[in-house]
Amino acid sequence: MNALPFAVAHALPEIILAVGALLLILIGAFRGRDSDGPMTELAVGLIGLAILAILLSTRTGTAVVFDGAFVDDPFGRFMKILTLLGALISLFMGQDYMARAKIDKFEFPILIILSTLGALMLISATGLIALYLGLELMSLALYVIAAFHRDNVKASEAGLKYFVLGALSSGMLLYGASLLYGFAGTVSFAGIADAVGGKASLGVIFGLVFLMAGLAFKMSTAPFHMWTPDVYEGAPTPVTAFFASAPKMAAIAVTIRVVITAFPGITTQWQQIITFISLLSMAIGSFAAIGQTNIKRLMAYSSIGHMGFALVGLAAGTPTGVQGVLCYMGIYLIMTLGTFAAILSMRVKGESVEQISDLSGLARTNGPMAFFLALMMFSLAGIPPLAGFFAKWYVFNSAIQAGLYPLAVIGVLLSTVAAYYYLRIVKIMYFDDPVVTFDRAAPSLRIVLAACGILVLFLFAYPAAFVEAAAAAAKSLF
């Protein structure tokens, strides 16, 4: 078989996005207008085409192409679909907001596509160099879109903070990668696994710690979470929705791939790091969100907490644990996008509002929106029989099976603390007197909010296909 067509077939979603981004840049340059015109629709179509390329693929096994730098396996395909869905829905929801804020420049959908392309490359990375290239392609576009609203001081501040801290995290990750290369003599994950074996020298542990620090920043897990609340609040809301979805999927995916495939012989060492990050993230996400008044900042702390809950499954270090993480991330994506559809709908006389108090009495002024947002809040809190309960059940169950009882117990207790600020929003919507009446939401936002609400309500009734896909994806790593 000719090597190049074979490699192209395995990297088809990435090639679709890369070629599509170049074509969109040419179209935008020739049109030469401020407004994005049909660019967002074209970008959504491109991302949809990339999803179709994965779904219609008949491949079931694992293939390593491009001189061993890129892997196409069930795990990668599962996480790529989640990442692409996050990007597609963020673009779909954000078009109305960007037009109203007069920042619907043609570059925005192109930057989303480039960031998503980096995320896909990151998910398929089989070595430290491929990992870094994917990470930086994803991050460079994120730095720009965080500050995309140039005339807004908060957005500029968000972009600057993310850039400075992102550069620091990249440096830490590179330092860890260089230590690992020095001790293993190779950059490939399989080669590192062979070189390290079951003995962890001090240099390897240091390299692992610095590598995990860089990845923790991208997952926005504690203690590298400090950028998250400011960036979530300052960036335009569609950008925040994108931050909370697609890059999160890629960061979790590459973290799983690194620890499972590069360090299978020293599970105890990386388990300690993952457990520490998980506990700290759950604690900070649960307690720091209680005093928040801005709903985007609250969602930032919520995402920190949820990444901590997801890592409970990874700490188990088993196929069941990884399956739990994949199920968790799929359900988290649905809940987050639904919540951001509601946040984007919070508009009074054409102006966006972000205070939690603005939701007062929403049940009386907009019953359907209050109902679906309440569903999201109950699901995020992990209340049965909604999808969020099963997400937590999958990861805690895998931790218990692996004998990590303290982690599971602390996770359940912190989940109870986090339930307070989700249920407080429900109380404000249903029991407080109305303060404002929101404008009628764009059709795209109503569609996303209703679809996500239906999914979290009924996913427990037929989860088999989703859970089986996650199980097959998890097993492909071991």
Q: What pLDDT does 266 receive? A: 86
Q: Tell me the residue length of the chain.
A: 478
| pLDDT at residue 33, as a whole number | 65
How far is the C-alpha of 167 from the C-alpha of 139, rounded, in Å? 9
pLDDT in tens, 417-475: 999 999 999 999 999 888 888 889 899 999 999 999 999 988 877 888 889 999 999 99
Q: Do residues 112 and 118 touch, judged by C-beta distance below 8 A? A: no
What percentage of the chain carries pLDDT values higher than 70?
A: 98
* pLDDT for residue 1: 44
Cβ-contact 378, 422 below 8 angstroms:
yes
Q: At residue 21, does pLDDT exceed 90?
A: yes
Span of 114-118, 308-312, 404-408, 459-463 with lowest mean pLDDT: 459-463
pLDDT digits (tens, 9 = 90+) for 251-304: 999 999 999 999 988 888 999 999 999 999 999 999 999 989 999 999 999 999
Mean pLDDT in residue range 9-27:
92
Residue 6 has pLDDT above 80, yes or no: no
Confidence category of residue 34, pLDDT binned at 50, 70, 90? low
Give the residues across from 336 on adjacent strands.
none
Predicted pLDDT of residue 286: 92
Which is higher by pLDDT, 411 or 36?
411
Q: Give pLDDT, residue 104.
A: 81
Mean pLDDT of the chain: 91
- 213-262 pLDDT, tens digit per residue, is 999 999 999 888 899 999 999 999 999 999 999 999 999 999 999 999 99
The residues with which 351 forms a beta bridge, in sequence order, are 348
Yes or no: say if 21 and 110 are a contact pair by the CB < 8 Å rule: yes
- What would the mean pLDDT of 342-363 be, rounded to a whole number? 90
Evaluate whether 243 touches 251 at the Cβ level (below 8 Å): no
